[in-house]
Amino acid sequence: MEFFVQQFVNALQLGSLYALIALGYTMVYGVLLLINFAHGDIFMVGAFLGVFGSITLDLPFVPTLVLSMVLTGLLGVGIERVAYKPLRQASRLSVVITALGVGLLLENGMLALTGANPRSYPQTFITTRVYDIGGVAISNVKIIIIVLAALLFAGLYTIVQRTKWGMAMRAISYDKFAVPLMGVSQDQIISLTFLLGTGLAAAGGILWGVAFPVLNPYMGLRVGWKAFVAAVVGGIGDIRGAAAGGLLLGFIEIFVPAYGDSIGISSTWRDPIAFGLLLIILVVRPTGLFGVARRQKV
């Protein structure tokens, strides 16, 4: 039972990280119908900006987090303005290819400009304490990650559901031709979407760096694709779906090796299993758990 609870907390931690990153994918897709393949690398930039805040500027945890979220958010808006906006009228595939290119550019540019040494946050960033609750060891890092992710999600959900900006975002994803006619600036809403999505990715990056303290320019590759799977499993375009997909993926990735070892499934199988699940869900429910099929007009 202790083992189960322990793994449950681990899964919750990993799942909320995936969910944070998946939110960015899903928001951008909802508004622009663009799979932003650069998102994983934006997550990496967020984590690196955490190094900048915590070591170079010697800031504590919360200011570092805010600084990284703001700077990364601005980077996201900049990428949209420079690379995606000129392609607003082009075929959607060229935007996707551009996104792939931007991702490669970010990770390799980071590698070229900063060198290949792995980074990590300083010891004083978050002093680790481990609490023993009924035989289950839970560190304060895990609690912080889970609570913070939940708060950020709640904040985002409030923005999307309760504010005028959020209403405009939902309206654009519903009908992007009618909304500008109602006097809503499409460009502003898209920028806001990128700001929020990439800001959350930055938060995810810093929390990831706290939980798994090896940062390198290629860290976004793997995590990014996983978060993408989470977004699709949940039904890309729906933020509740992204959260649910992220948590589901986290649980699979923790529980498969935790209980699979006894039946010969080692932890290296978790990638094929995660993607296999994706495949099955897409075949059975092609629009994901929460997605709504758009009817195609003939």
**136: which strand partners?**
133
Query: Does 211 sit near another protein (CB under 8 A)?
Result: no
CB of residue 52 vs another protein: minimum separation in angstroms? Answer: 5
Encoded amino acid at 179, one letter = V
Query: Does 94 sit near another protein (CB under 8 A)?
Result: yes
Q: Are strands 136-139 and 130-133 parallel, antiparallel or unpaired?
A: antiparallel
Contact indicator for 211, 13 with CB cutoff of 8 Å: yes
Contact indicator for 209, 120 with CB cutoff of 8 Å: yes
**130: which strand partners?**
139
What values do phi and psi take at 119, rounded to 5?
Answer: -105, 165
Which SS3 state, helix, strand or coil, does residue 138 take? Answer: strand
Contact letters for another protein, residues 238-257 (x by CB under 8 A): --------------------
Choice from 58, 114, 131, 140 touching another protein (CB under 8 A): 114
Query: Does 296 sit near another protein (CB under 8 A)?
Result: yes
Query: Does 97 sit near another protein (CB under 8 A)?
Result: yes
CB of residue 176 vs another protein: minimum separation in angstroms? Answer: 16
Choice from 83, 136, 144, 289 touching another protein (CB under 8 A): 83
Alpha-helical (H) ranges within the chain are 2-32, 39-51, 61-79, 92-114, 140-162, 164-174, 178-181, 186-211, 219-234, 239-260, 270-284
Choice from 18, 43, 48, 208 touching another protein (CB under 8 A): 48
Residue among 60 and 101 whose Cβ is closer to another protein: 101
Rounded CA gap, 169 and 235, in Å? 17
Contact letters for another protein, residues 115-154 (x by CB under 8 A): xxxxxx----------------------------------
Contact positions toward another protein, by CB under 8 A?
Answer: 29, 33, 35, 48, 51-52, 55-56, 83, 86-87, 90-91, 93-98, 100-105, 108-120, 221, 225, 228-229, 232, 236, 266, 268-269, 271-272, 275-276, 278-279, 282-283, 286-287, 296, 298
